[in-house]
Amino acid sequence: MMERKKPALSQQVKKRTDSVSKNKKEYDGDFGAVISTGSTLLDLAISSGRIKGGGLPGGILVEIFGPTGSGKTVLLSEIAGAVQRQKGQIMFHDPEARLNKQFARLFDLNTNEMEYTIPDTIPEVFKSVRNWKVENKKVINGIFADSLAALSTETEMQKEEGDRMGMRRAKEFSEELRKTCRIIKENNYLMVCSNQVRINVDAGPYQQKYISPGGESIGFYSSLRLRVSKPEKIKQKIKMAGKDVIRVVGVKSEIEIYKSSVWEPFRIVPVTIIFQYGIDDIRDCLQFIKDFTDNNVYTLNGKILDKSMEESIAIIENENGYSKLLKNEVINLWEEIESKFKIERKLKR
């Protein structure tokens, strides 16, 4: 697979437009500006009904949860890089100590220009949010935690007692979130946390088989919850000395808007992650257009690019302005599809 340069994301910040809902007070988040997730389709699924092109607003808590290796850290880092590009400050809590400079550079994320910690406990993360002082409140400033599942309780760290059945963890999450979410909203912070899923061994026939650690408070206080599916491997085959050599070069997951008070929930979109690159937005956009038009080849505004995905990607990246044209075509196609589902009903009196 050819080496690719990460394109500049011109839509990292989308200013307020006429497409913002007149009933915005019914929803969470300040849409004066929004942050891109790095995926055009995911941006649209999150909030395209409130602002053209969608994206993440300020003033909300977001939980990204899913199995190991599904791309949660990549998505978190893409969002953090987008916040930094629009001159917002970053606070990055990394209890698993996984973020290094080389990995961060994939997402244009400068680790030298952010507050970075490796916290042990739940209160460490949320107290820092309440005490955070930012230089510019006119932009969205971001707080990130990767991952909540790795955080311990204070009693567990002091070895006074075991964390019996997670009850103490759940209590600390509830206490800290209750005190912190108001601060997030008042300061227009964007707080994004990743979380793993666990098998719910006590689940009955009508209960969830998989749950995210930390009790129910994280789901309750989150304005947006993104559930990442188990990933599919992306393989590439080359010829070496007449033999086939196969390598896994990335993964493809589906992300569901599992809960949303930002806009409407339950939309599901594909997100492709290529190792040493990040979210491959061009690939997903090209496939979306092919899937929802009559074309059997990859196209841009009706113009045939190539039958091959890789060649079509190369054309988009090497032609000036093509990336923006591709995004705009996907946004327009998405809106056309959404319009088919619009329900016109008289308001109840």
DSSP assignment of 73-103: HHHHHHHHHHHHHTT--EEEE-TT----HHH
- Show the DSSP H helices in the chain as ranges: 40-47, 72-85, 101-105, 122-131, 154-157, 167-186, 217-221, 281-291, 309-318, 322-340
pLDDT at 165: 47
Of the chain, the percentage scoring pLDDT greater than 90 comes to 72
pLDDT at 164: 52
For residue 16, is pLDDT > 50? no
Q: Which of 293, 297, 294 is nearest to 305 (CA)?
A: 297
Both tokens of residue 322? 């093509």
How many distinct helices (H) and strands (E) make up the chain?
A: 10, 16
Amino acid letter, 236: Q
More confident residue, 199 or 67: 67
DSSP code of residue 347: P
Question: What average pLDDT is seen over the chain?
Answer: 88
Q: Which of 152, 140, 161, 168 is nearest to 60 (CA)?
A: 140
- Region at 241 (left for phi over 0; alpha for psi -120 to 50; beta for the rest): left
What residues contact 4, with CB distance under 8 A and at least 6 apart?
274, 277, 313, 317
Confidence tier at 11 by pLDDT (50, 70, 90): very low
Which of 51-54's residues contact partners 24+ apart within 8 Å by CB, and which partners?
Answer: 51/14, 51/16, 51/17, 51/19, 51/20, 52/14, 52/17, 52/19, 52/331, 52/335, 53/11, 53/14, 53/327, 53/331
More confident residue, 147 or 249: 249
Q: What's phi and psi for 110, nearest 5 deg?
A: -90, 105
Confidence tier at 283 by pLDDT (50, 70, 90): very high
pLDDT at 306: 84
Q: Which of 132, 140, 231, 212 is nearest to 173 (CA)?
A: 212
Tracing tokens 């389709």 back to the chain, one arrives at 41
What's the rounded Cα separation, in Å, for the pair 192 and 190?
6
More confident residue, 349 or 82: 82
Range from 137-146, 209-218, 277-286, 333-342 carrying the lowest mean pLDDT: 209-218
Both tokens of residue 89? 């400050």
Q: Which of 129, 130, 127, 142 is nearest to 90 (CA)?
A: 142
CA-angle at 182, arms to 86 and 47, nearest 5°: 50
> Cis (ω within 30 of 0) for the bond into 147?
yes
Range from 5-19, 74-88, 95-109, 318-332 carrying the lowest mean pLDDT: 5-19
Q: Which domains does the chain have, with CATH numbers?
A: 24-279 (3.40.50.300), 281-340 (no CATH)
Q: Which of 196, 201, 159, 195 is nearest to 177 (CA)?
A: 195
pLDDT at 111: 92
Confidence tier at 157 by pLDDT (50, 70, 90): low
Please state, as a whole number, how many other Cβ atoms lie within 10 Å of the Cβ of residue 155. Answer: 15
Say if CB 109 and CB 115 are below 8 A apart: no
More confident residue, 15 or 94: 94
pLDDT at 182: 96
- Show the DSSP H helices in 187-303 as ranges: 217-221, 281-291
